């Protein structure tokens, strides 16, 4: 085999591998790294228990850190007053009072409820981001960015399938 052919084939194989891993992560076809490596949460379940209680898309996002497609969540257009809860453990996580239309295609909030979320560094896709998750069950919500509105300047860009919405009681 000529050196040029070998190098071209090696580069193509490496690119295909990286693309495949990225697509697996985006669409939730990876390993359940969170469930196997992070068991320090109040609410813990086996992989089978999580799969039984969550839809396949919720499982991919909450347990495998996948991302739902933009503009697909009904919660993106939710305008009523109420509270958004973790779909994995029902912890109240975000108030409708802090929700705003970021134009990104995912529900966005400028602040979480007190003691509702945790964060960690996410070094996927050749960048460093701040991942946000449920502090009680560790379910992946999305990421936090520094391009949000006042008063915090933060944008919690959240996968809608990771949340459920409970409207406020009518007065």
Q: Which domains occur in the chain, in start order?
A: 70-167 (2.170.150.20)
Q: What is the pLDDT along the chain (171 residues), one digit of tens a residue?
A: 555 544 445 544 444 444 343 343 444 333 333 433 455 899 999 999 999 999 999 999 999 999 999 999 999 999 999 999 999 999 999 999 999 999 999 999 999 999 999 999 888 777 788 999 999 999 999 999 999 999 999 999 999 999 999 999 866
pTM for this one? 0.77
DSSP letter, residue 152 = T
Active site residue 89: no
Q: Which helix (H) or strand (E) holds 3?
A: helix 3-27
Which of the following is catalytic: 89, 134, 137, 157? 157
Q: Using CB atoms within 10 Å of the CB of residue 1, give its burial: 0 to 12 exposed, 13 to 18 middle, 19+ buried.
A: exposed
């Amino acid at each position: 085999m000529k050196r040029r052919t070998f190098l071209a084939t090696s580069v193509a194989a490496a690119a295909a591998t990286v693309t495949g891993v990225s697509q697996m992560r985006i669409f939730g076809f990876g390993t359940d790294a969170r469930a196997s490596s992070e068991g320090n949460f109040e609410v813990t379940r086996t992989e089978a228990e999580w799969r039984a209680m969550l839809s396949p898309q919720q499982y991919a996002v909450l347990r495998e850190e996948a991302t739902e497609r933009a503009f697909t969540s009904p919660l993106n257009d939710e305008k009523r007053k109420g509270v958004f809860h973790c779909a994995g453990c029902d912890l109240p996580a975000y108030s409708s009072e802090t929700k705003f239309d970021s134009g990104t295609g995912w529900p966005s909030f400028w602040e979480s409820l007190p003691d509702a979320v945790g964060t960690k560094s996410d070094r996927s896709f050749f960048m460093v981001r701040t991942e946000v998750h449920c502090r009680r069950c560790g379910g992946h919500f999305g990421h936090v960015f520094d391009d949000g509105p006042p008063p915090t300047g933060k944008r919690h860009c959240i996968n809608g399938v990771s949340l459920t919405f409970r409207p406020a009681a009518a007065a």
